[in-house]
Chains A and B, each alone.
Chain A
Amino acid sequence: GEDVEQSLFLSVREGDSSVINCTYTDSSSTYLYWYKQEPGAGLQLLTYIFSNMDMKQDQRLTVLLNKKDKHLSLRIADTQTGDSAIYFCAEREDSSASKIIFGSGTRLSIRP
């Protein structure tokens, strides 16, 4: 079955880059997502990538996809205190699939 794995914690210094990694098992996944959860709130879509892409950049965010290794990463440049949150990797099989499977989330903390 589908499985998405992430490390639980990451601590970075303010101004440095953060890299959050994720591995997934379903080779047929066509949509991969990064959601952000701020304290006391629900999850919000941060960015997504289709499986026919290797990279997607959106301002400070860079998503890299290695389909061969089933590895997804999210890089946040110039990390700020407002980036403190839990980041969830998620996969969806295809456009007809209804389920989105989430990883356990990586808690990003920023130190001064």
Chain B
Amino acid sequence: DAGVIQSPRHEVTEMGQEVTLRCKPISGHDYLFWYRQTMMRGLELLIYFNNNVPIDDSGMPEDRFSAKMPNASFSTLKIQPSEPRDSAVYFCASRKSGSNTGELFFGEGSRLTVL
């Protein structure tokens, strides 16, 4: 399997611009998670989906952030408008329900820099 695929790997944008990050989970995985990693706050859970339905978005920082999962093989995380404090590495992860260990499989991340 190809693993969790994220794009873009790197994004540099200016404050106020819209940013869209994309994720393709592992085929057959029914849970999808978006995490954000910063030096100050570590790894934060933003939102997660089960069977394409958002279950818990309590970690989404504010209304500028939105996430969708239109089908089982694709999810987006959108920031509009972006701000310098949004600079971070954004990870997508997926897992299969019923897994004995509950292991999460992570993508390689999207590094976002907002100038």
Please list the residues of chain A having a beta carbon within 8 angstroms of any beta carbon in chain B: 31, 33, 35, 40-45, 48, 88, 92, 95, 98-105
Contact = CB atoms under 8 A, between A and B. Distances in A.
A99 B48 contact: yes
Given A42-B91, A43-B104, A92-B102, A104 B42 contact: yes
25 contacts: A31-B101, A31-B102, A33-B103, A41-B108, A41-B109, A42-B4, A42-B91, A42-B93, A42-B106, A42-B107, A42-B109, A43-B43, A43-B91, A43-B104, A43-B106, A45-B103, A48-B101, A48-B103, A95-B102, A98-B31, A100-B45, A101-B45, A102-B35, A102-B43, A105-B43
Contacts of A104: 41-43
Interface string B78-115: 00000000000001010000000111101111000000
Interface string B12-45: 0000000000000000000100010000011101
Contacts of B48: 98-99
Contacts of A42: 4, 91, 93, 106-109
Interface of B: 4, 31, 35, 41-43, 45, 48, 50, 55-56, 91, 93, 101-104, 106-109
Among B42, B55, B93: residue with most chain A CB under 10 A: B42
Nearest to B92: A42
B41 to A, nearest CB: 8
Contact of A100 (B41, B50, B102): B102
A32 to B, nearest CB: 11
Given A42-B91, A43-B104, A99-B45, 19 more contacts: A35-B104, A42-B93, A42-B106, A43-B91, A43-B106, A44-B106, A88-B43, A98-B50, A98-B55, A98-B56, A99-B48, A99-B56, A100-B45, A101-B45, A102-B35, A102-B43, A102-B45, A104-B41, A105-B42
Among A45, A100, A101: residue with most chain B CB under 10 A: A100
